[in-house]
Amino acid sequence: MLVPRKNKTPTRDSRLEELADTAAWLPDDALASLHEFAVFLGNKYPPEAPATAEIVPIARPESEGVITAIKRLSKTYPMLDKKVLFEQTSAAMSAHVLNEVSAKESIDRLEKVFRKEYEDFIARMEQK
């Protein structure tokens, strides 16, 4: 049973962490429903336009979790549309949570995903 955390005013990060914790123990069909709902909400609330196309370099810590890596990469590439990355980041996180892929492998994959999306973003900007 899901028990809400005791935070009186939960932060965005604590809500994301609680969501990830909950998603980790959901059966596959419920996880698929959660994913569909998240995509629905993402379409309802589009992200704000990025102010800049510059990368904000943040060093990868020696020991880093997958959720922390997603947060770091989102800050490193603030110009990227999180809806576009959602499916791939969710897949990497799910594979790790289900013990199919190590944290290091998942983070390596995420770094490639974000870098590729950034390169595609720059290519689209140059075409305009």
Query: Structural domain boundaries of the chain?
Result: 13-46+66-127
For residue 13, give Cα distances in angstroms to 31, 82, 115, 124.
20, 15, 23, 31
The model's pLDDT over 21-59, given as tens digits with 9 standing for 90+, comes to: 888 888 889 888 888 888 788 778 766 655 568 899 999
> What is the per-residue pLDDT for 77?
93
CA distance 63 to 48: 31
Q: Specify whether the CB–CB gap between 81 and 89 falls below 8 A.
A: no
Torsion from C-alpha of 4, 13, 45, 115, nearest 10 degrees: -140
The model's pLDDT over 100-124, given as tens digits with 9 standing for 90+, comes to: 888 899 999 999 999 999 999 888 8
Task: Indicate whether 9 pLDDT > 70.
Answer: yes
